[in-house]
């Protein structure tokens, strides 16, 4: 099977590519290697896969319309796993336009590539942040209305709507995954676990928002990757009544789906910090701060729909996952 994986040098993309290569697939990895966070971390991830048989790296920007069209034309991908894009809630407050390019234009270029090149399936990253404020717990994809409270979240919701229209109009099978705070080895330096670890090991204070009372459904990277890989075996198909002329006669018959993928076991930020203190064997010096704009107080995933399809749900505890992150962090930064 020939895959395009975008965000190849990113946290989740890099892990997914390793699993695809292990299974003997051919993978073209795309990334623009931007400097949103430490480029050395991105190139170090890439260095681990660069020479593996079946892997090709392409440095380009998702927003480059001609470049993306040519990439699809020349490679004839069967499957696409689209994990590239501008992540981060807080960064979107200061840098809104980079989200329009990477997440809106970029996503459209991927959809167009799928449309014109008979791609069998597009799986793309959405986010728990699309749910926004005042939601029933746990969050369910059956809820009709979302209330994104950051531009980042709004672009992720837009990605789902764009995918729905392409599934409906052109019969492209699409699967959106709403990730819930992913963490683990090779994780992102802009996320709490990485920042806390770096600060604690340097003997510095850590900034704890909402006085540590935010609850998050922290999800371990291997559980995310396992779900993505299993979803490759259960691709949605258009209903028999789908036609090129009319598209899907009903929204429910388009080969479109969106799932939550979270741990279904939210913990407070304070409990997450305690797990880190345990793994590092030291106490954190905490700087207690109020909630930041664009953040939500709690996330919690209802994963029943995903479980019905793939027979798997995330299962790694925060203690276990944080300990594995710390082992990686020490090995990587203290070599
Ligand atoms: P990441 O930032 O580590 O990876 C994204 C990669 O995309 C980066 O390597 C970056 O260089 C690349 N990229 C960004 N803009 C690009 C562009 N215009 N053209 C080409 N490449 C570009 O992030 P991640 O944690 O691996 O997240 C992957 C996806 O999952 C993102 O869409 C993110 O929004 C989403 N997501 C992640 C989390 C999480 O907790 N990690 C939660 C919810 C959603």
For 144, 176, 229, the CA distances from 29, given in Å and listed in that order, are 34, 19, 16
Residues paired with 29 in a beta bridge = 5, 57
Centre of ligand 1 to C-alpha 183, Å, is 13
Q: Is 36 a catalytic residue?
A: no
Per-residue pLDDT of the chain in tens (335 residues, 90 and over written 9): 999 999 999 999 999 999 999 999 999 999 999 999 999 999 999 999 999 999 999 999 999 999 999 999 999 999 999 999 999 988 998 999 999 999 999 999 999 999 999 999 999 999 999 998 767 888 888 876 788 889 999 999 999 999 999 998 999 999 999 999 999 999 999 999 999 999 999 999 999 999 999 999 999 999 999 999 999 999 888 777 777 777 766 666 778 999 999 999 999 999 999 999 999 999 999 999 998 877 788 899 999 999 999 999 999 999 999 999 999 999 999 86
314 Cβ inside 6 Å of ligand 1: no
Question: Which residue's C-alpha comes closest to atom 34 of ligand 1?
Answer: 87
32 Cβ inside 6 Å of ligand 1: yes
Centre of ligand 1 to C-alpha 2, Å, is 21
Ligand 1 atom at shortest distance from the alpha carbon of 60: 20
Torsion of CA 236, 125, 42, 199, to 10 degrees: -140
- Which residue in 152, 166, 170, 220 is the catalytic one? 152
pLDDT of residue 166: 94
Q: Which of 4, 6, 11, 220 to mutate to test the pocket of ligand 1 (most atoms within 8 A of CB)?
A: 11
Nearest to 259 by CA among 220, 231, 282, 290: 231
Domain 2-182+220-263+301-314 has CATH 3.40.50.720: yes
Furthest-apart CA pair in the chain: how many Å?
Answer: 64
Centre of ligand 1 to C-alpha 87, Å, is 5
pLDDT of residue 258: 96
Domain ranges of the chain: 2-182+220-263+301-314
pLDDT of residue 252: 64
106 Cβ inside 6 Å of ligand 1: yes
pLDDT of residue 71: 98
pLDDT of residue 25: 98
- Pairing assessment for the beta strands 286-288 and 215-216 based on DSSP bridges: unpaired
102 Cβ inside 6 Å of ligand 1: yes
Q: Which of 5, 33, 40, 85 to mutate to test the pocket of ligand 1 (most atoms within 8 A of CB)?
A: 85
pLDDT of residue 137: 83
- The rounded distance, in Å, linking the Cα atoms of 228 and 241 is 28
86 Cβ inside 6 Å of ligand 1: yes
21 Cβ inside 6 Å of ligand 1: no
- The rounded distance, in Å, linking the Cα atoms of 111 and 78 is 13
pLDDT of residue 268: 96
Q: Could you tell me which residues come within 8 angstroms of residue 127 by beta carbon, excluding any fewer than 6 positions away?
A: 152, 153, 156, 178, 179
Burial profile 178-194: b = 16 or more Cβ within 10 angstroms, e = fewer: bbbbbbbbbbbeebbbb
pLDDT of residue 240: 74
321 Cβ inside 6 Å of ligand 1: no
13 Cβ inside 6 Å of ligand 1: yes
């Amino acid at each position: 099977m020939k895959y395009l994986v975008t965000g190849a040098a990113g946290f989740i993309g890099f892990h997914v590519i390793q699993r695809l290569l292990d299974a003997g697939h051919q993978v073209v990895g795309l990334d623009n290697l931007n400097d949103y966070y430490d480029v050395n971390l991105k190139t170090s991830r890439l260095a681990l896969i660069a020479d593996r048989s079946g892997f090709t790296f392409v440095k380009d920007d998702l927003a480059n319309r001609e470049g993306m069209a040519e990439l699809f034309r020349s490679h004839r991908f069967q499957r696409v796993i689209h994990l590239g894009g501008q992540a981060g809630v807080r960064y979107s407050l200061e840098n809104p336009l980079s989200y329009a390019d990477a997440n809106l234009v970029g996503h459209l270029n991927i959809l167009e590539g799928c449309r014109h090149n008979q791609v069998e399936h597009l799986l793309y990253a959405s986010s728990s942040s699309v749910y926004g404020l005042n939601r029933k717990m746990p969050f369910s994809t059956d809820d009709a209305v979302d209330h994104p409270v950051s531009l980042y979240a709004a672009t992720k919701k837009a990605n789902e709507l764009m995918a729905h229209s392409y599934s409906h109009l052109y019969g492209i099978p699409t699967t959106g995954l709403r990730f819930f705070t992913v963490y683990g080895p090779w994780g992102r330096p802009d996320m709490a676990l990485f920042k806390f670890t770096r600060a604690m090991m340097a003997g510095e204070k850590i900034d704890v928002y909402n006085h540590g009372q935010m609850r998050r459904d922290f999800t371990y990277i291997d559980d995310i990757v396992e779900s993505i890989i299993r979803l490759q075996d259960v691709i949605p198909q258009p209903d028999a009544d789908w036609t090129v002329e009319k598209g899907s006669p009903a929204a429910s018959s388009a080969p479109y789906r969106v799932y939550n993928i979270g741990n279904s076991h939210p913990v407070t930020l304070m409990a997450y910090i305690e797990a880190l203190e345990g793994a590092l064997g030291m106490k954190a010096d905490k700087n207690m701060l109020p909630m930041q704009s664009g953040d939500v107080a709690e996330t919690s995933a209802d994963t029943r729909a995903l479980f019905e399809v793939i027979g798997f749900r995330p299962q790694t505890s925060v203690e276990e996952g944080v300990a594995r992150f710390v082992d990686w962090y020490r090995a990587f930064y203290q070599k």
